[in-house]
Amino acid sequence: MKKQLIILAATMAVLLAVTGTASAQVTKIVTGGSTGLQILGSALAAQYGKDTKGKVRVTVSGGGSGAGQTGAANGTFQIGNSSSDKSSSTPAGLTFTPITKEPFAIVVNPANPIKGLTGAQVKQIFLGQVTNWKDLGWAQGGAIKCFSRVATSGTRQSFQKLFLGSISTPVSNSCPALASNALDRSAVANSKSGIAFVTYAYTVGSGGATVKTLPIDGVTPTLQNVVSNKYRYWNCQYLVTKGEPAGDVKTYIDWVRGSKGAAVIKTYAVPFSGTYDQCVS
């Protein structure tokens, strides 16, 4: 009898251990790409982890929209984050699911007295046609220090489409190409004569306070001004998958595009649950 009790106790201990292991298993969803989406992506991941009581862990890394699209295609990422639309270099077989309308902002150093620019002036600066702040009304500003992004950046491609007229129109080589929105913002914060383009998410919070966001054509890049169609320099941001989303990935994307995801998104962008065609039409 004693031996049977010992065996029974041992069996129950094993079952409890197995059950505990199973309940402790965490589903992992690997995402990465756009640095323009990185702040928002991290906030969404954190909230989803809470909502699933830690049963699902979404990881977020940067690297640029190009890396996000390529990573989704080759399996490095289950979800690639992209701040740009499909292009001729986009790998085949990818599905772009839009989640936001994101304003693209022009930022300068807080010491810059310029109160705003026109879209045409922004274009001239980043094409290298206007190179001194005195030509824009700041007599003591000196040479303009423009900062850009690497060629695979979705932020850069969207900027080229929105401000330069085409993603094939190159930014001037006089503008150093940096690896992330955060680096562009930091460069401007540390350069009195600096100017750069970033996604709206990098203009809010304590980090956003390190730079000054300029109105363009007399309109400030706010979420409300995007909703009201007053600010026209915006682009959709996407969660990119190989084929149609399925399983845990689809569940997460549906959550992002639902009311709980929108509650997180609205701090950084305009929530959008429409179609890809609605983004690019």
Domain boundaries, the chain: 25-102+236-280, 103-227
Q: What is the pLDDT of residue 281?
A: 86
pLDDT tens for residues 164-221?
999 899 999 999 999 999 999 999 999 999 999 999 999 999 999 999 999 999 999 9
On average, the pLDDT of the chain sits at 93
Average pLDDT in the 87-96 region?
A: 95
Tokens of 248: 């845990």
Eight-class DSSP state of 143: B
Q: What is the pLDDT of residue 21?
A: 46
Q: Cβ–Cβ contacts within 10 Å for residue 2, how many?
A: 6
CATH topology of domain 25-102+236-280: D-Maltodextrin-Binding Protein; domain 2 (3.40.190)
Q: What percent of the chain has pLDDT over 70?
A: 91
Residue 193 to residue 114: CA distance in whole angstroms:
11
Which of 34, 45, 129, 150 shows the shortest CA–CA distance to 81? Answer: 34
Identical topology for domains 25-102+236-280 and 103-227 = yes
Which of 250, 248, 6, 227 shows the shortest CA–CA distance to 103? Answer: 227
CA angle 142, 144, 147 (to 5 degrees): 150
Cite the beta strand spans of the chain per DSSP E: 27-33, 56-63, 79-82, 94-108, 145-149, 177-178, 194-199, 212-213, 234-242, 270-271
Residues 179 and 64: beta-carbon distance below 8 Å: yes
Tokens of 49: 């982890």
| pTM, rounded to two decimals | 0.86
Q: What is the pLDDT of residue 24?
A: 62
Would the pLDDT of 1 be above 90? no
Higher pLDDT: 135 or 9? It is: 135
Which of 266, 95, 92, 74 shows the shortest CA–CA distance to 82? Answer: 95
> CATH number for the 103-227 domain, one of 3.30.70.3270, 3.40.640.10, 3.40.190.10, 1.20.140.10?
3.40.190.10
Would the pLDDT of 18 be above 80? no
Which of 131, 157, 145, 130 shows the shortest CA–CA distance to 36? Answer: 157
Residue 238 to residue 34: CA distance in whole angstroms:
9
Q: What is the pLDDT of residue 3?
A: 53
